[in-house]
């Protein structure tokens, strides 16, 4: 099975210069645990996840540090830069192995330098549930 057959194409994104609070609100509203980070030209520059935010929060010791983190820190400071991507023609099993190896829940799909979709562990679980494997 190809990545293109399982990937989702309606992507929510966050800007590299948005605040951590902006990212948190978008994740909460769209019920996702990670967002692709794009620059002004809508090119993928990284990924930010609830784990990235929670880890930074655990390291902020007091109220001013937390306020700085949430209201003044930009997404690009916390994100994982240049995330690994996969081609829509790649095999789903290969994408699954990549996710496990990199310890990530989703892998973005790029075609000719453009972000065209995302394949998540949930999409693979969906295929198992539908007995597609």
Q: For residues 64 and 113, which CB has a smaller minimum distance to other proteins in the complex? A: 64
User: Which listed residue (11, 27, 35, 115) binds other proteins by CB under 8 A?
Assistant: 27
Shortest CB 80 distance to other proteins, Å: 15
Q: Cα dist. 109→2, 21, 29, 39, 118 in Å?
A: 12, 26, 23, 17, 5
Paired tokens of 45: 């520059």
Determine, following the binding rule CB under 8 A, whether residue 10 of this chain makes contact with other proteins.
no
Paired tokens of 40: 């002004």
Cα separation, 44 vs 86, whole angstroms: 13
Shortest CB 40 distance to other proteins, Å: 25
C-alpha torsion sign, points 87, 100, 77, 67: positive
The beta strands (E) that lie in the chain are given as 14-15, 34-38, 44-49, 80-81, 85-86, 106-111, 114-120
Total residues contacting other proteins by CB under 8 A comes to 35
Q: For residues 39 and 77, which CB has a smaller minimum distance to other proteins in the complex? A: 77
User: Which listed residue (17, 30, 55, 72) binds other proteins by CB under 8 A?
Assistant: 55
Determine, following the binding rule CB under 8 A, whether residue 2 of this chain makes contact with other proteins.
no
Residues that bind other proteins (CB under 8 A): 21, 24-25, 27-28, 31, 33, 50-51, 53-55, 57-58, 63-64, 66-67, 70, 93, 96-97, 99-100, 105, 121-122, 124-129, 131, 133
């Amino acid at each position: 099975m190809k990545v293109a057959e399982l990937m989702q194409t309606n992507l929510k994104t966050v800007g590299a210069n948005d605040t951590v609070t902006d990212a948190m609100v978008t994740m909460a509203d769209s019920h996702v645990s990670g967002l692709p980070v794009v620059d002004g030209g809508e090119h993928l520059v990284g990924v930010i996840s609830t784990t990235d935010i929670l880890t930074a929060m655990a390291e902020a010791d007091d109220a001013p540090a937390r306020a700085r983190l949430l209201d003044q820190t930009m997404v690009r400071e916390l994100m994982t830069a240049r995330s690994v991507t996969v081609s829509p023609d790649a095999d789903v099993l290969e994408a699954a192995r990549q996710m496990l190896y990199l310890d990530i829940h989703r892998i973005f799909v790029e075609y000719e330098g453009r972000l065209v979709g995302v394949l998540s562990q949930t999409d693979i679980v969906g295929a198992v549930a539908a007995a597609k494997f």
